[in-house]
Structures are given as C-alpha cells and as structure tokens.
C-alpha cells in the first residue's frame, strides 16, 4: 500500500515584495477579477476609474475555470494578460478557494517582476499570508478590505473602494 502526501515542500522564502510604483501615470494597470464576488467587481471598477484619472491605462481580465482543458486555457490567458500590463491588482481573497487562487495568480504576476498587490478581506489575511509565504514570497503586497464586503449594498462598497484607493 502507498500513502501519498498531497503537500509540497515550501518554496524558499526571500520575503521580497517586488518593485513598487511611485505613480500610475503612463502605466498599464491590470485588474484580475474572478467569477464570484460582485463586490470585487465594484471595488475594481472604482479603482480602475481612479487609476485612469491618475493617468494609467486600465485592463481588466476575469479568471474562470481552473481545471482540465479550461484551466490550461485560463493559465495561458492569465500569462498573456500579465505580459501586457505594468502593475497587477489581483482579487478577491474572500473565501478559502478564492484566497488560494488570488494568491496563486498574484504570485504568478509578481514572478514576472511587475509590481503586484493581492486584495483580500480582513477575515482571510492570515490565509493569504500563509499561502504567499508557502509560495516563496511572504512580502507579497496585500491590501486588506473590510469583511464582510459582499453582503453590503453596492453604494457602500463603492464608498469603501474610494476610501481604500492609494
């Protein structure tokens, strides 16, 4: 009988958050959305508008299926999206699997050398940090939004988004 261990050894952690940015003017800022959180659509929409006001060009890409052939296509699309932007804003870490995929995609973007931030809600900051550390980048920038977020009215979420924009 064989007993399989589904865990991998952690990647050595250098704690590097990657490069930062001093201005968005002239940069292509990419917002990675998912298929679950309407609140993240509202937040990223507000942030995209504010980034454009700061002189950025904005691109939005939505992640979807993660397994099988659809997952293979999705990863190729993610890589193409990341190759076409200067800054990645990846969200939303707002449940267990969403946090896993948010950090996965943020690490993938950060590994290309572009400034990257993973967006999570308060309740999932610990998991996001653990996953970033296991992925070899404990310093991955994480921006924390209030929890719960998705149960709030749209106008309130948009107000929170504007208050959290940097």
- pLDDT one-digit tens code per residue, 23-56: 999 999 999 999 999 999 999 999 999 999 999 9
Terminal Cα-to-Cα distance of the chain (whole angstroms): 55
Enter the pTM of the model: 0.94
What tens digit of pLDDT does each residue of 84-112 get? 999 999 999 999 999 999 999 999 999 99
Detail the DSSP E strand segments found in 80-157.
87-93, 116-121, 141-145
pLDDT at 14: 86
Q: What is the mean pLDDT of residues 5-30?
A: 90
Residue 116's SS3 state is strand
């Amino acid at each position: 009988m064989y007993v399989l261990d589904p865990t991998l050894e952690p990647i050595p952690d250098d704690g590097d958050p990657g490069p930062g940015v001093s201005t968005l003017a002239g940069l292509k800022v990419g917002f990675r959305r998912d298929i679950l959180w309407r609140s993240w659509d509202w937040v990223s929409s507000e942030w995209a508008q504010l980034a454009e006001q700061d002189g950025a060009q904005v691109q939005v890409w939505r992640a979807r299926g993660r397994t099988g052939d659809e997952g293979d296509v999705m990863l190729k699309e993610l890589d193409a999206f990341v190759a076409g932007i200067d800054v990645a804003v990846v969200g939303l870490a707002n449940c267990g699997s969403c946090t896993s995929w948010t950090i996965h995609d943020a690490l993938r973007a950060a590994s290309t050398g572009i400034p990257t931030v993973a967006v999570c809600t308060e309740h999932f900051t610990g998991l996001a940090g653990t996953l970033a550390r296991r992925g070899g980048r404990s310093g991955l920038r994480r921006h924390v939004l209030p929890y719960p977020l998705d149960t709030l009215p749209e106008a309130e979420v948009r107000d929170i988004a504007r208050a959290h924009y940097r």
